[in-house]
Chains A and B, each alone.
Chain A
Amino acid sequence: MNAQAVVILPIALPLATMVMLLLSLKSIPAQKLIGVVGSALLLLSTATLAWLVDRDGILVLQAGNWPAPFGITLVADRLSSIMVLLAGLMVFAVSVYSLASVDNSRVRFGFHPLIQLLLMGVCGAFLTGDLFNLYVWFEVMLIASFVLLTLGGERGQLEGAIKYVTLNLISSAVFLAAIGVIYAATGTLNMADLALKLRSFPNEGTVSVLSMLFLIAFGTKAAVFPLFFWLPASYHTPPVAVSAIFAGLLTKVGVYSLIRAFTLLFVTDLEFTHNLLLLIAGLTMVTGVLGAMAQNEVRRILSFHIVSQIGYMVMGLALFTPLALAGTVFYIIHHIVVKTNLFLIGGVVEQRFRTGRLERIGGLYRSAPVLATVFFLSAMSLAGVPPLSGFFAKLTLIRGGLEAERYAIVVAALVVSLLTLFSMTKIWSEAFWKPPPGDAVTDVSSRNRSRTGRACLYGPTILLASITVGIGVMAGPVMNASMATAEQLLDQNAYINAVLPDGPTGQVPAVSRERRSP
């Protein structure tokens, strides 16, 4: 098997796993076994891909051997390979966690196949090098997430789903319209080819309109200000395993697309686009964290923090220096691990007390010291306390901001960091330190849970918490990888040459060009 074929594995493996899961839908043990084994294989394949990309540089697979820009291109550069690796890691952790946390009726209605379908969409979006293909992967991911969100049909789930579905469909419609306009303007949808054609595009106004259309489409998926309202309205409603994978991966697909669009395609008018991104980043951070402070339920607080942290990622992109982009990449790595873990821990808390409302829970420091430790590590990392992963991520971003002399955003980032610490401390003191309130319901069944059940709940959280600590301790290598990723992102020619080894598509005869220049 040659190296290129590995690029398709993160898409093909979830598909194969999903088919097998659908064939064995009647047997719950088979569902659980195949789900976990499939996720483990996915993790393995993504790790292989990341290793290969690190060794050989950008890997390109032309589907069906149709040369770009005519066929569908799959591209794995450093950013893509890091993203799919994180996706593989998260789905593995969540699959194991779901063994003990997702009820059998949800498993019977296809929880595991849907998770695999979701992952296929997510990995496809990370790996594709074609805009329309990206739209299709978005839709694959969305339809899987719609069903996962509503699976079980509880009141809150249905209500949250209406908002989630509506806003995501609007964003898809905008994305589709943007694809139509960009095709009309340039006659191609291959990202590398687009990057070339947009460089020398005569009409600046058209490019600005296009960049804004994509900003709205991807910004809604990434939940940036002021397009984030679907997120806090829906993420706290489904089962925890579902929220955790959503929190870790879905908004990051939007962020990834933003990074791709604004490092590869729309880099001609930095003054306008990237300054706007910087403003959005600041507002996203601040509104997200203020929203979180007003909440009193574990998962609602965490949902608002996702919004706030998306701001940090966009900040690095907006500053558009190697250091700041490296900060963004580092932040994404840190954020996906920590955020998923916090949701998983929040899920254990909710299972114990049958609620996530802070005034009705407490005493966990005494009754669950392991849980308290992993929560403390993740929460402090999220707030950016050294020597955990969040500290280095924020440090890099802030250094990037200072170097670029954008002091306002640096101040915003620091203040938001402090407020994050405040709201993590709130969860800590309410859920862990305060004695349990008199009327607290403790779920007896969770106390008597079997050893394997407990291992399934705690194992993934401990794994992710140790990764957080690991990123902090091994910040050097992670930083080097982020820096290399940032440099690769800023070197558009490397991407273009990898996809289009024969140079731009110059052979198109005048006849078919003519129509494009009315």
Chain B
Amino acid sequence: MDILLAITVGGLYAAGIYMMLRRNVVKLLIGLGLLSHAANLLLFTAGGLVRGRVPVVPDGGTWPLVIVADPLPQALILTAIVISFAVLAFALVLIYRTYQTLGTEDLDELKATDT
């Protein structure tokens, strides 16, 4: 399972970066989305995969007695998903407004503010 997820993460990173290198702003945005998914999955995989062991401390004990799933990475991912959702929603509006104002979706034509 670890290896499968590692390949998935790698694939998502590759696809995300490839999309970001395209000239179309919509593809750029899709690339950003894929990149944040890749980071989330990486966090999930790196946190350790444990199947079907809930992190519950038995009655009267202070520590779980068996190896349990670490809930922290999942909490982190949840936060990161919320953040990336908000940021991507903003970016969608941004590229729409840019398209309306500048009349182009080609990144190569957005050069006026460059140096």
Using a CB–CB cutoff of 8 Å, the interface residues on chain A facing chain B are 132, 135-136, 139, 142-143, 146-147, 150, 153, 155-156, 158-163, 165-166, 169-170, 172-174, 176-177, 179-181, 183-184, 232-234, 236-237, 291, 294-295, 300, 304, 509, 511-512, 514-516
B46: A residues at CB distance < 8 A: 180-181, 183-184
Q: Are B94 and A169 in contact (CB under 8 A)?
A: no
- Known interface pairs A132-B76, A180-B47. Does A169 touch B113 (Cβ–Cβ under 8 Å)? no
Partner of A159, one of B64, B70, B83, B98: B98
CB distance from B84 to the nearest CB of A (A): 8
- Known interface pairs A173-B39, A512-B64. Does A156 touch B87 (Cβ–Cβ under 8 Å)? no
Complexed CA–CA distance, A139 and B90 (Å): 13
Partner of A180, one of B43, B50, B110: B43
A234: B residues at CB distance < 8 A: 113
Instruction: Verify if B102 is at the interface (C-beta below 8 Å from A).
Output: yes
Q: Are B101 and A156 in contact (CB under 8 A)?
A: no
Partner of A233, one of B63, B67, B113: B113
A139: B residues at CB distance < 8 A: 83, 87
Complexed CA–CA distance, A135 and B107 (Å): 28
Partner of B94, one of A161, A181, A232, A300: A161
A135: B residues at CB distance < 8 A: 80
Q: Are A158 and B94 in contact (CB under 8 A)?
A: yes
Q: Are B65 and A511 in contact (CB under 8 A)?
A: yes
Q: Are A177 and B39 in contact (CB under 8 A)?
A: yes
Interface members, chain B 32-86 (any A CB < 8 Å): 32, 35-36, 38-40, 42-48, 50, 63-68, 70, 72-73, 76, 79-80, 83, 86
CB distance from A283 to the nearest CB of B (A): 17
- Known interface pairs A169-B91, A180-B42, A183-B72. Does A153 touch B97 (Cβ–Cβ under 8 Å)? yes
Give the top 3 A-B pairs by smallest Cβ distance, nearest first.
A180-B43, A184-B46, A176-B39
Q: Are A512 and B67 in contact (CB under 8 A)?
A: yes
CB distance from A295 to the nearest CB of B (A): 7
A136: B residues at CB distance < 8 A: 79, 83
Using a CB–CB cutoff of 8 Å, the interface residues on chain B facing chain A are 20, 25, 28, 32, 35-36, 38-40, 42-48, 50, 63-68, 70, 72-73, 76, 79-80, 83, 86-87, 90-91, 94-95, 97-98, 101-102, 107, 110, 112-115
Complexed CA–CA distance, A160 and B98 (Å): 10
Complexed CA–CA distance, A162 and B115 (Å): 15
Main SS class of interface, B = helix
CB distance from B38 to the nearest CB of A (A): 7
CB distance from B26 to the nearest CB of A (A): 12
- Known interface pairs A160-B113, A170-B35. Does A176 touch B43 (Cβ–Cβ under 8 Å)? yes
- Known interface pairs A143-B86, A173-B38. Does A156 touch B113 (Cβ–Cβ under 8 Å)? yes
Q: Are B76 and A179 in contact (CB under 8 A)?
A: yes
CB distance from A149 to the nearest CB of B (A): 10
Complexed CA–CA distance, A174 and B98 (Å): 26
Smallest CB gap from B115: residue in A: A232
B72: A residues at CB distance < 8 A: 183
Q: Are B91 and A180 in contact (CB under 8 A)?
A: no
Q: Are B91 and A165 in contact (CB under 8 A)?
A: yes
Q: For A146, A158, A516, which residue has the most chain B Cβ atoms within 10 angstroms?
A: A158
Q: Are B76 and A159 in contact (CB under 8 A)?
A: no
Q: Are A514 and B67 in contact (CB under 8 A)?
A: yes
Complexed CA–CA distance, A177 and B40 (Å): 8
